[in-house]
Amino acid sequence: MTMTAPVRVSVLIGLAVSLAAPFTAWTWTPAFPGDLTVYGSPAVLQYICLGAAVLAALYALAAAGLPYLGWLAPRGAVRGLRWSSLAAAGATWFTLAAIAVELGGLVHLEPGGWAAGAGTALMATAACLVPDDTRAPLPVEPSESRGRRQVVLERTLITAICLGAMLVLNFGIATAHTEEFVAYLLAAALAVRALNLSGALAGLTALGTRNRTATAAGALVAAMAFPLAQTSGQYTSIAVNVLIFAAVALGLNIVVGLVGLLDLGYVAFLGVGAYTAALVSGSVYAQFSGARLPFWAAVLLAMAFSALAGVVIGAPTLRLHGDYLAIVTLGFGEIFRITVNNLDGTSGPALTRGPNGISQIPDLEVLGFDFGATHRVLGVELGRFANYYLLLLAVVALVVFVFTRVNESRIGRAWIALREDEKAATAMGIDGFSYKLLAFALGAALAGAAGAVQAHVTTTVVPESYLFTGTAPPNSAFLLAAVVLGGMGTVSGPVLGAALLYLVPAKFQFFQEYQLLLFGLTLILIMRFRPEGLIPNRRRQMELHS
């Protein structure tokens, strides 16, 4: 990297101040959320700014030619330095602005706060003046030439990255105040941008591609470790709902992402699975209260009835296309809600108790393991939500396995062909109706499995939980948005979309009245600037950015 002496000195001074300032007091009163009055012990907001500054320092060292950091910037370190500096500056200046607004003026800032603002501003400004060093990445070494030692090192690195990502995610979920979560989102978004432009994310993707089994195992281990890092069940309960939302979104991704069918009533299949499991759960309010099936039998029954519902709605309607199909599926979702609302013994047969729903659904028991009780495993106490979290991890893993295997099969290729050009696919001998009906049934069955677990987690199923849109997910609009936002046709995209669409409203309680407005604005921005989604399918990305 070639830069003038003043620019180099400015970057170094800004970095030094940005790394030191989080260990000072930024305000004099603990009235501001998080207590930023302590010297030597950073608060949560200061840790966020410090983490971004550390990333900027790593990119500065990589730009200076430190050989051990070449993996961090295979395409060049300057862009990474710029965006990581902006991450530190953005989180810091947001914090300082929040202090001024909530406490009533800049007079409430301590010298440490002023130093943090000046240091990050100097660092970001100087980083933007550094000449760009973007270059083509070096060719990736073919997998056949890797030795046993390199394979072990790569798999160890993958496990460490997965655990590190879990800790970073846990840090964000556990933020106790809105100001902390906003700063976390701001810093994380800009830091990811830095990793992407520097080529680090592409390198990690290639690493994961070479070690798919190790990557899947590392991600599973990191996810299983999540409840062990929690001190209360509050955030584990959020994670449980995110997993339910993610499992259903992955099922919808088969219909929308692979086949290209617009389904606006998909949440009904979740409801079919939930009501089926509730009816055979042994609840005193269930019509079949004397029948309590084992969990595996209840899940299979829920999947069967959900798949049957998918066939029933798909058989007469899948010859429609585009807007007409969307209207029919929207109507099916409303028909399901109205039907279960009327099966109360007055307007129709006594089956679902109408608006009252089925309550007091007992906790699951599998092989004598009570999911509602507290257990101690390896010295760690696992509560009710931790138990269901681990169960839902298995459900999501099953859904991911099914999605991946089907996507890579002959059936998946036929679905993609139908999505790209149905007339051409039909001319090549693909029976479009049969394949689309299979997609509807399979997607519905996966939603039914998630619904069976959801019924036991919430202990109550009511018709109003399965709307087209509402103030909280899962509903059909949010499910579709999770797939589009995350990236249609991918595995990790809908999971990320589901996590964001559930976590953000849960953290921003004061936005409840404006949630749908912000939701709509987010979708408009995504469609304008990144229509392929946050984690795009490569084929779709090339089509949209040819």
Domain range annotation of the chain: 5-222, 233-544
Q: What per-residue confidence (pLDDT) applies to 83?
A: 95
C-beta separation of 272 from 454 below 8 A: no
pTM exceeds cut of 0.75: yes
Distance (Å, rounded) from C-alpha 181 to C-alpha 428?
52
State which CATH number among 2.60.40, 1.20.272, 1.10.260, 1.10.3470 fits the domain covering 233-544: 1.10.3470
Task: List, for residues 376-398, the tens digit of each pLDDT value.
Answer: 777 777 888 888 999 999 999 98
Collect the ranges in the chain with pLDDT lower than 70.
1-3, 136-146, 231-232, 289-290, 470-473, 509-515, 540-546
Helices and strands (H, E) in the chain, number of each type: 20, 4
Please report how the helices 492-507 and 476-486 are oriented relative to each other, as an axis angle in degrees rounded to 10: 120
C-beta separation of 442 from 399 below 8 A: no
C-beta separation of 292 from 267 below 8 A: no
Q: What per-residue confidence (pLDDT) applies to 472?
A: 62
Q: Which helix (H) or strand (E) holds 412?
A: helix 410-420
User: Which region, left, alpha or beta, applies to residue 112 given φ > 0 means left and ψ of -120 to 50 means alpha?
Assistant: alpha
Bond prior to 474 in cis (omega within 30° of 0): yes
Q: For strand 365-366 and strand 369-370, is the pairing parallel, antiparallel, or unpaired?
A: antiparallel
Residue with tokens 């409430």: 108
In a 3-state reduction of DSSP, which class is residue 292?
strand
CB burial of 171-180 (b: ≥16 within 10 Å; e: otherwise) equals: bbbbbeeebb
Eight-class DSSP state of 142:
P
Task: List, for residues 203-230, the tens digit of each pLDDT value.
Answer: 888 888 888 888 888 888 888 888 887 7
Tell me, what amino acid is at 189? A
Indicate the burial class of 434 (C-beta count within 10 angstroms; 0-12, 13-18, 19 or more). Answer: exposed
Q: What per-residue confidence (pLDDT) applies to 1?
A: 46
Q: What per-residue confidence (pLDDT) applies to 208?
A: 84
* CA triple 20-24-26, angle to 5 deg: 120
Tell me, what amino acid is at 312? V
Q: Which are the contacts of 232, defined by CB distance < 8 A and separation ≥ 6?
A: none
User: Which region, left, alpha or beta, applies to residue 35 given φ > 0 means left and ψ of -120 to 50 means alpha?
Assistant: left
Indicate the burial class of 257 (C-beta count within 10 angstroms; 0-12, 13-18, 19 or more). Answer: buried
Q: Which residues pair with residue 461 across a beta bridge?
A: 358
